[in-house]
C-alpha cells in the first residue's frame, strides 16, 4: 500500500471538510478513499492507494488504509466515541494547515477533487448505498472476501473516427476534390458579384447616411445611373 498517497488524499479531504464545516468520521473517510480508488481503477486499471480492499463489516474496508489515514501528518484523530452497541465514531482535528493535493499525481488529484465535490456533503447512508449497490467490486463480493476491481467497467476513450477517404478509389477522390474546387470558385464569384441596388436599398442607404455613427459595410456596390445620381444629390444636400 502507498501510505504517502493515502496521507496526501486524507490531508486534502479532511482539511477541505473542516473548511466547509462538513462531518467526516473514520467510516466516511474510508469510503471516500475507496471511491477514489474505484474511480482511478475505472479510468486507468489501477487503484491509487494500492490497498487490499475487503468486504468487511460495513462494506469496503482495509486495516492498512485506516492505520495510514490515522497517521496523516498534521491531522489529530480523536478517541473513539460509541454511537451504538456495535458502531463507533472517530473524528479528527486539523493541527496544521496547508494543502497536500499538489503532491498527488495529476489524475489522482483530479479524481480526489471530483469525489470530494460529489460525495463530501453526502451523509454516510447515501455513500453506503452507492458503495454497496452500485460499485462492481462490492456487488460481486462476498463478506470477508477481497474485492476484485477487475469487475469494474472501464471508461475508455472513444475509438478514433474512421477515415472516409480510405474506401474511395483514387479516381473518386480526384472527382470529389474537383467538385470541391468548383464549389469554392463559385463561392468566390458569388462573393465578388456586385450588388444591384433598387429604390428600397437607396432609401435604406440614405437613412443610414443620416446617422453619423453608422458605418456602411465595405465592398463594391453597382448602382444604376439614375439611382447613383439621386444618392449623390442626397449626399450634397446633407
CA distance 195 to 197: 6
CA distance 107 to 43: 9
CB-CB contact of 34 with 149 (8 Å) = no
> To which H or E segment does residue 21 belong?
none
State pLDDT tens for residues 104-163.
999 999 999 999 999 999 999 999 999 999 999 999 999 999 999 999 987 655 555 556
Average pLDDT rounded to a whole number, residues 194-198: 63
Task: Tell me what pLDDT residue 89 has.
Answer: 60
Degrees to nearest 5, angle at CA 46 with 154 and 130:
60
Q: Reply yes or no on whether the pLDDT at 238 is more than 50.
A: no
Task: Tell me what pLDDT residue 121 has.
Answer: 93
CB atoms within 10 A of CB 3: 17
Q: Reply yes or no on whether the pLDDT at 16 is more than 90.
A: yes
Question: Measured in whole angstroms, how far is the alpha carbon of residue 24 from the centre of its chain?
Answer: 25
Counting Cβ atoms within 10 Å, is residue 214 exposed (0-12), middle (13-18) or buried (19+)?
A: exposed
Three cell numbers written together for 53: 480492499
> To which H or E segment does residue 208 belong?
helix 199-209
State pLDDT tens for residues 35-78.
999 999 999 999 999 999 999 876 899 999 999 998 999 888 77
Task: Tell me what pLDDT residue 181 has.
Answer: 86
In sequence order, which residues have a C-beta less than 8 Å from that of residue 50 and are 6 or more positions away?
1, 2, 5
CA distance 119 to 137: 19
Highest mean pLDDT pick, 90-99, 136-145, 170-179, 202-211: 136-145
The overall average pLDDT reported for the chain is: 81
Annotated domain spans of the chain = 3-151, 170-237
Degrees to nearest 5, angle at CA 48 with 93 and 159:
140
Torsion of CA 148, 149, 153, 155, to 10 degrees: -170
Task: Tell me what pLDDT residue 163 has.
Answer: 61
CA distance 38 to 144: 19
Three cell numbers written together for 168: 474511395
pLDDT greater at residue 102 or residue 204: 102
State pLDDT tens for residues 96-106.
878 889 999 99
pLDDT greater at residue 80 or residue 146: 146
Average pLDDT rounded to a whole number, residues 17-23: 89
Amino acid at each position: 500500500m502507498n501510505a504517502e498517497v493515502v496521507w496526501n488524499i486524507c490531508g486534502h479531504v479532511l482539511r477541505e471538510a473542516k473548511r466547509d464545516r462538513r462531518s467526516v468520521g473514520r467510516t466516511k473517510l474510508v469510503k471516500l478513499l475507496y471511491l477514489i480508488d474505484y474511480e482511478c481503477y475505472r479510468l486507468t486499471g489501477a487503484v491509487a492507494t494500492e490497498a487490499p480492499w475487503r468486504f468487511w463489516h460495513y462494506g469496503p474496508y482495509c486495516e492498512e488504509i485506516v492505520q495510514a489515514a490515522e497517521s496523516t501528518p498534521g491531522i489529530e484523530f480523536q478517541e473513539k466515541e460509541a454511537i451504538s452497541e456495535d458502531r463507533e465514531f472517530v473524528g479528527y482535528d486539523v493541527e496544521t494547515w496547508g494543502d497536500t493535493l499538489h503532491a498527488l499525481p495529476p489524475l489522482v488529484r483530479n479524481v480526489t477533487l471530483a469525489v470530494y465535490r460529489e460525495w463530501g456533503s453526502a451523509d454516510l447512508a447515501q455513500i453506503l448505498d452507492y458503495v454497496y449497490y452500485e460499485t462492481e467490486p462490492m456487488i460481486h463480493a462476498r463478506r470477508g472476501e477481497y474485492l476484485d476491481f477487475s469487475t469494474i467497467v472501464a471508461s475508455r476513450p472513444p475509438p478514433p473516427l474512421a477515415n472516409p477517404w480510405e474506401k474511395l478509389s483514387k479516381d473518386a477522390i480526384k472527382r470529389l476534390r474537383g467538385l470541391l474546387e468548383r464549389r469554392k470558385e463559385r463561392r468566390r464569384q458569388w462573393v465578388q458579384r456586385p450588388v444591384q441596388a433598387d429604390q428600397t436599398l437607396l432609401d435604406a442607404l440614405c437613412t443610414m447616411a443620416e446617422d453619423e455613427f453608422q458605418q456602411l459595410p465595405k465592398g463594391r456596390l453597382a448602382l444604376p445611373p439614375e439611382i447613383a445620381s439621386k444618392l449623390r444629390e442626397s449626399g450634397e444636400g446633407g
